[in-house]
Amino acid sequence: MNVTVIKQNMLKNIPKVDRVLEWPQVQLLLGQYPRPEILHVVRLILDRLRDSVKNGARTDLPDNREIIGMIGSELRSRTAPSLRKVINGSGVVVHTNLGRSALADAAEAAIQTVSAGYSNLEFDLATGERGSRYSHVEGLLCELTGSEAALVVNNNAAAVILALSSLATGREVIVSRGELVEIGGSFRIPDVMCQSGARLVEVGCTNRTHIRDYQNAITDTTSLFLKVHTSNFAIVGFTAETRLEEMSALGRERGIPVMLDAGSGCLVDLAPYGIKGEPTIRRYLEAGADVVTFSGDKLLGGPQAGIIVGKKELIEPMKKHPLLRALRMDKLSLASLEATLRLYRDERKAMAEIPTLQMLTLSPKELSSRADRLMRYLRRQLPENVTLARHSGESSAGGGSFPLLQLPTTLVEVRIAGATPSRIETTLRHTVTPVVGRVHRDRFLIDVRTIPEKDFPPLLASLLESATILTEK
């Protein structure tokens, strides 16, 4: 028989939609899913089958049981939410692709309260008149950073665009060549500058910029010195960076404000916890920055937000800028930002209750005992073909902060009999609660730093699910 005839026979044997709908197992699905949804999926699966016969991808037809399996799993995946919880076994604390910071309980509760009903978002309870959404966090931000004024927007990229648009449109902004950063997600300082209508004046060299470089570049239309945190990279070796203090002194002399895009932005000094090199926002302001912008969901450990602090005379015009309406923060983020900031009034509370800070500062001993607890918990319930081993390794801060920092940690290796590490990695990414780990030197590893105790049960469920899938094959 030639290929065309075989294909035509196969196509003829693909069951009709009406028949499939009558199968008892499909009838059972009617209890769980609406009929139009089932009809749609049955058509979809049969169409796919037809296509794969036509293009030669299939040389035999699945039996009815398999077709029912396909229908069931398609229905499940169509009804499961697309955006869902994952277990972060990567050890990257502020993982941009995994939603950056996990929120503190207080922040989660604030979202719950504000989302479930009405709120005084833009209503002044004291006067009964219209209020400002920004008022809920401005005071706290000033208190925590020593700033004169503060404003929050959707994210730090928006904060930079708003600040530049307000301070520098149509005028020149002087930036060091060593700070023309690309953050990822196509946020590039030169492009952002262009968007805001400011003219970029580059000075210095990639590795060295001196205060005289800024001085020599000043013209009548210079509106701003911009300093950008290099965040996700480090220039090492023969380097010189102009200090904020020097820039601010020159700026004061010539009437030019200094703006700092601090990137991650930290409200507590992490040096006593062994994480050195990131000055606090308060320190930046003390060093003479007139405007500082930073993210809410990086080291701060709150929701997505862009925070602007600094001189009142520079921030007030931003509050009236037409762009602000387009960049404004929503009430849920505002509620959780306020709750997160409140924790910072007591540093001990912040360190203990903000997951990002807590995970970053876990000691090697705490990590080792967490690994013990995790392995004991899992071993009690995992089948024999799943085995665990511990290794030492390194985690990183992520979120474009501390690019060179390697935090000692404990890794747990997961082995499933008969499956390669990369097969384990793929399978775990497809479980009900996906697990993100890494394959390194032919081992599948998860880092306990980013797996809090409350994730142990869903991790166990995902391992059980994977073990079942991998042994069926």
Ligand X SMILES: *Cc1c(COP(=O)(O)O)cnc(C)c1O
Per CB under 6 A, residues contacting ligand X are 155-157, 160, 181, 183, 187, 228-229, 231, 261, 263-264, 295, 306, 400
- Rounded to a whole number of angstroms, the minimum distance from the CB of residue 229 to ligand X is 4
Residues forming beta bridges with residue 29, ordered by sequence position: none
Q: Say how far apart CA 124 and CA 110 lie, in whole Å.
A: 19
3-class state of residue 2 by DSSP = coil
Quick one: 308 or 448, whose CB is closer to ligand X? 308
- Rounded to a whole number of angstroms, the minimum distance from the CB of residue 27 to ligand X is 50
Residue nearest to ligand X (CB): 263
CA dihedral angle for residue 281, residue 286, residue 290, residue 292, rounded to 10 degrees: -10
Quick one: 114 or 228, whose CB is closer to ligand X? 228
Name the nearest CA neighbour of 137 among 316, 337, 350: 337
Task: Give the single-character DSSP code of 31.
Answer: T
Tokens matching residue 383: 């089948």
Number of CB atoms found within 10 A of residue 141's CB: 24
Quick one: 204 or 400, whose CB is closer to ligand X? 400
The set of residues, in sequence order, having a beta carbon less than 8 Å from that of 24 and lying 6+ positions away, is none
Q: Say how far apart CA 359 and CA 367 lie, in whole Å.
A: 9
- Rounded to a whole number of angstroms, the minimum distance from the CB of residue 129 to ligand X is 32
Quick one: 399 or 437, whose CB is closer to ligand X? 399
Q: Say how far apart CA 207 and CA 203 lie, in whole Å.
A: 11
- Rounded to a whole number of angstroms, the minimum distance from the CB of residue 214 to ligand X is 19
- Rounded to a whole number of angstroms, the minimum distance from the CB of residue 164 to ligand X is 12
Quick one: 307 or 378, whose CB is closer to ligand X? 307
- Rounded to a whole number of angstroms, the minimum distance from the CB of residue 54 to ligand X is 46
Quick one: 123 or 187, whose CB is closer to ligand X? 187
Tokens matching residue 234: 């480090």
Q: Say how far apart CA 435 and CA 206 lie, in whole Å.
A: 40
Quick one: 175 or 424, whose CB is closer to ligand X? 175
Quick one: 42 or 300, whose CB is closer to ligand X? 300
- The DSSP element (H or E) to which 333 belongs, if any, is helix 331-343
Q: Say how far apart CA 85 and CA 467 lie, in whole Å.
A: 20
- Rounded to a whole number of angstroms, the minimum distance from the CB of residue 186 to ligand X is 11
Tokens matching residue 69: 């399996």
- Rounded to a whole number of angstroms, the minimum distance from the CB of residue 101 to ligand X is 11
Classify residue 406 by burial, with Cβ atoms within 10 Å: 0-12, 13-18, 19+: exposed
Q: Say how far apart CA 427 and CA 301 lie, in whole Å.
A: 30
Residue whose token pair is 């955006």: 83
Quick one: 178 or 306, whose CB is closer to ligand X? 306
Number of CB atoms found within 10 A of residue 48's CB: 14
Q: Say how far apart CA 66 and CA 49 lie, in whole Å.
A: 12
- Rounded to a whole number of angstroms, the minimum distance from the CB of residue 403 to ligand X is 10
